[in-house]
Amino acid sequence: MILKKIIGIDLGTDTTQIYLKGSGVVVNEPTIVACNNRTDRVVAVGNEAKKMLARTPAHITALRPIMNGVIADFDMVKELLQSFLKRDDIPWSWITETIVSIPTNLTEVERKSVEDLLKESGATSVYLIEQPLVAAFGSRLDINLPSAFLVVDIGAGTTDMAIISMNGIVVSRRLKIAGDYLNQEIIKGVRDELRLHIGEPTAEEIKIAVGSVIPTGERLELTVRGRDVASGLPREISIRDTQVRLWLVRPVKQIIEAIKDLIESAPPELVGDIYKNGMYFCGGGSLLRGIDQVAEKEIGVRVQIVEDPLACVARGTGLVCEKFDTHKHLLNNFSRLKLDE
Ligand SMILES: Nc1ncnc2c1ncn2[C@@H]1O[C@H](COP(=O)(O)OP(=O)(O)OP(=O)(O)O)[C@@H](O)[C@H]1O
Ligand SMILES: [Mg+2]
């Protein structure tokens, strides 16, 4: 019997995670590529490229090649992935099976683009699995039962939600309102109300340090620097949780409305199961203070944020890698690209 060497890949808008069977997570780095415009060559990927993001010299561009969960720049994603797969701790040429997690509701073209990416990178056998399903698996939900579970993965570029039962997705929705969108709302709020231009990294820092959608009981405050809208000169301001909340409430409400829509589209029995089992939130966006409480109040169903929500897709993919044969029932949801030759 050939010993299978299996890897699982989560190409997130914000973070790429690669799980190698028997070793665990071997890559957990930003999905960023830095390019030299003069030579058209990639100069760095991942952590190294992130350092260059905001402060690149004129001839270097740092970009995020995955947008809203889908491949936006095929060649750049290929460079990124190939550079990760070439690392010493990944025996890429020995890998027999590659599992890639993908958002729900991809178009044929988007799906094909993931398959082509792996094919062109030298993969022999590729399986695709939808992210909410693998997130449910990573959260150790009993999704094989004839009961329904609602999983909401709030990532950077997409909020992907699905009602899952008996190892399959019954209904799903995906929207482009997620972490990046919240950052943009903060950029707009700071510019329009506080008259300061800030960049995306600062907006994200604000969101993580003082962002909330309900009062948290503590006063949160952060000092940030940016460029004054009128004078164009540097200025420092102190920003409070109460100010940021005003900017985040509307997009979070849109996410909650989408969850309500999804529940409304589900068969009645499954709605009963969801009421009983509660909803499961994962992805980095689920860490926003109070998002679970607001959703619980608006929808009337208990919300649980899964353990280590940033890692749950990679963890789920990892579980499938480790117990590949035992979890073959999940393979119904995989599309096999090419059989072993
Ligand atoms: N404590 C926090 N509070 C609010 N948001 C957070 C927190 N920590 C991380 N995030 C946000 O989570 C997002 C990253 O989450 P995640 O790694 O799940 O996304 P991704 O899988 O790369 O993206 P996607 O699934 O959309 O392709 C970022 O937008 C980040 O700002
Ligand atoms: Mg994700």
Strands 126-130 and 97-102: parallel
Q: How confident is the model at residue 58 (pLDDT cuts 50, 70, 90)?
A: confident
CA of 177 to the centre of ligand 1 (A): 12
The tokens describing 67, both together, are: 């947008």
CA of 38 to the centre of ligand 2 (A): 33
Q: For ligand 1, atom 11, which residue shows the shortest CA distance?
A: 284
The residues that bridge with 44 in the sheet, in sequence order, are 34
- For 284-313, the pLDDT digits (tens) are 999 999 999 999 999 999 999 999 999 999
CA of 243: how far to CAs of 198, 202, 206, 230, 302, in Å? 15, 15, 11, 21, 28
Q: Which atom of ligand 1 is nearest to the CA of 159?
A: 26
Q: Give the number of whichever ligand sits closest to the CA of residue 68.
A: 1
Candidate from 11, 181, 207 with most ligand 1 atoms within 8 A of CB, to mutate: 207
Candidate from 14, 187, 313 with most ligand 1 atoms within 8 A of CB, to mutate: 14
Q: What pLDDT does 334 receive? A: 43
Q: For ligand 1, atom 15, which residue shows the shortest CA distance?
A: 284
Q: How confident is the model at residue 277 (pLDDT cuts 50, 70, 90)?
A: very high
Q: What pLDDT does 306 receive? A: 97
Domains by residue range for the chain, with CATH: 6-133+312-333 (3.30.420.40), 142-177+250-309 (3.30.420.40), 179-247 (3.90.640.10)
Q: Which atom of ligand 1 is nearest to the CA of 158?
A: 26
Q: For ligand 1, atom 21, which residue shows the shortest CA distance?
A: 12
Q: What pLDDT does 52 receive? A: 81
The model carries a pTM of 0.94
CA of 59 to the centre of ligand 2 (A): 31
CA of 132 to the centre of ligand 2 (A): 9
Longest distance between any two alpha carbons in the chain, whole Å: 71
Q: Strand, coil or helix: what is 244? A: helix
C-alpha of 246 from chain center: 24
Q: What pLDDT does 54 receive? A: 66
Q: Which atom of ligand 1 is nearest to the CA of 31?
A: 22
Q: What pLDDT does 333 receive? A: 39
Ligand 1 pocket by Cβ (under 6 Å): 12-15, 69, 155-158, 178-180, 204, 207-208, 211, 283-285, 287-288, 310
Q: What pLDDT does 338 receive? A: 46
Question: How is residue 4 annotated by DSSP?
Answer: P
Residue 261: is its pLDDT beyond 90? yes
**For the chain, what is the mean pLDDT?**
92
Q: Are 245 and 207 in contact (CB under 8 A)?
A: no
- For 207-239, the pLDDT digits (tens) are 999 999 999 999 999 999 999 999 999 999 999
Q: What pLDDT does 339 receive? A: 40
Q: Give the number of whichever ligand sits closest to the CA of residue 69.
A: 1
CA of 338 to the centre of ligand 1 (A): 32
Q: Are 212 and 245 in contact (CB under 8 A)?
A: yes
- For 110-151, the pLDDT digits (tens) are 999 999 999 999 998 889 999 999 999 999 999 888 999 999
Of 171, 135, 169, nearest to 155 (Cα)? 135
Q: Give the number of whichever ligand sits closest to the CA of residue 158.
A: 1
Pairwise CA distance, residues 98 & 129, whole Å: 11
Pairwise CA distance, residues 69 & 102, whole Å: 8
Q: Give the number of whichever ligand sits closest to the CA of residue 16.
A: 1
CA of 282: how far to CAs of 47, 287, 308, in Å? 23, 8, 8
Pairwise CA distance, residues 313 & 112, whole Å: 21
